[in-house]
Each structure stands twice: as C-alpha cells, then as structure tokens.
Amino acid sequence: MNIETKINELLGNKDNYIFAIANIKGLLGEKYSEFNYAISIARKLEDEIIDEIRNGPTLNYLQNYKNVNAELLELIMNISNMLTKKNIRNLPIKPTYEDDELDENYFKTLRTDFSHKMAATRAGIGWIGKTDLLVTLKFGPRVRLASILVDDDFIKPGIPIEKSRCGACDICVRTCPARAANGKLWNTTTDRNEFYNAFKCREKCLELSKRNLNETISLCGICVSICPIGIKKSK
C-alpha cells in the first residue's frame, strides 16, 4: 500500500478533507530548514454552524472550532507515526496554539515560525483572501489547517497558487467589525501587513469572544461565514 493511499485511509470521510503536498524548499527559517516539503491538510467546518454566525462567535462555532482542531491534531499524529514507521523523517505542526504556548516574539508580530496557510497555498489548496483567510477551492474559507513537514516528496507536489482569486469582491472587507483589511489583493510578493492589520483583528476578536462567549480567546468567524465562495460551496 502506498503512502497516499494510507493517508486517504486515515482521513476517514474524505468529503470533509483536502490534502496535498507542498514544495517549500528555501521558504522556511532556520528552525525548520532541514525540511523541503509539507503535507497540508484542510478540514471542513460545519456549514450549519458557520451559517449561524452574524455578530461574532457563537458557542456552537467555538465547540466546532475546538473539535476540528482536536481531530486534526489526532490525524497528523497518526500520519506522523505511519511515516516514521516507513523511515520518513517528519514533524507534525499543531493546527493551533494556546497563548501560553507562544513566545514573546509572537505577540510582537502575530506570526508563528511556520505558516499553515503558506504551505496550503504552495500545495495548491487555496489562496489568501482579503482578510488573511485561506480560501480553498473546495470549501471556501470554512476550514481549519494542519501540516506535517517531511524531507521526501513521496507524493507529487501540488501546483502552487501564487495570487488571489478574490477579484473585486470585498464583502469581507466591508463586513469586518475590526476594519482590519484595506482590500488589496494578495500575492506571494505581498506581505500580510500590506493588506491586513492582524492586531486590529485580534483586538476585536478578543472583545467579541468576551461579549458573546465570556471567554478570553481570539475568535470571531464573521468573514468566514460571509465569504460568497464558502456559501456557494456549502449549497
């Protein structure tokens, strides 16, 4: 049984997943420079729950967010164990981190050492939207991501997506309660800060999560719910 078939087996209900491999040679910092490829996995969020979001996060969204993150973490650990048994060096990267797991540099930049979204664009899974969401071809932005770094291209890498396909649509820009985006289109030469203010987004997410959920977390979901691509795919 080849590795791609085994990964598909581990995915279970493949209708809820996208996975592809990305060539990331030369794109990672020193911490991960020994790895040249990444398995990128997107797991669909529940449409009925995302459709409920109108004024920030709901309890159902919070629970779905947590459940999908937990499912992704279990999945990448299972894939990692399978690859290790086949003597393929790998490093699973969690779908998300709690604040107490992040260092001081993160809170200065709101950037982690590894970007799941970068891997997903290099794998051809989607592009970066105007509010810095990964927008997938299959599910729109209604996904959570996880990755596994590997040093072997045992699956043919996907064709990278190098520029936005959002066009003139600016619904997420106009709807964002933080006014965090300016509408500029992303491409691989465009830094996040040129089109999106992550600090404004985080501040508003904390405010909405406290108001709606009584939780000190950074969660909103409005731009996830109103993206026309996600709505169209859900129908």
Give the per-residue pLDDT at 115.
96
Task: Report the chain's C-alpha Rg in angstroms.
Answer: 17
Give the per-residue pLDDT at 98.
81
Give the per-residue pLDDT at 137.
87
Write down the residue that tokens 């664009």 correspond to. 121
Question: Which two tokens mark 228?
Answer: 């026309």
Give the per-residue pLDDT at 100.
80
> Cα–Cα–Cα angle for 152, 157, 160, nearest 5°?
135
Give the per-residue pLDDT at 1.
57
Question: Which two tokens mark 184?
Answer: 């500029």
Q: Is the separation of the CB atoms in 176 and 227 below 8 Å?
A: no
Mean pLDDT by 10 residues, the chain (235 residues): 85 89 92 94 97 96 97 96 94 89 88 95 98 96 97 88 97 98 97 97 97 95 97 82
Rounded distance between C-alpha atoms, residue 19 and residue 136, angstroms: 11
Buried b or exposed e, range 16-28, using 16+ CB within 10 angstroms: bbbbbbbbbeebb
Question: Which two tokens mark 90?
Answer: 């790998």
pTM: 0.94
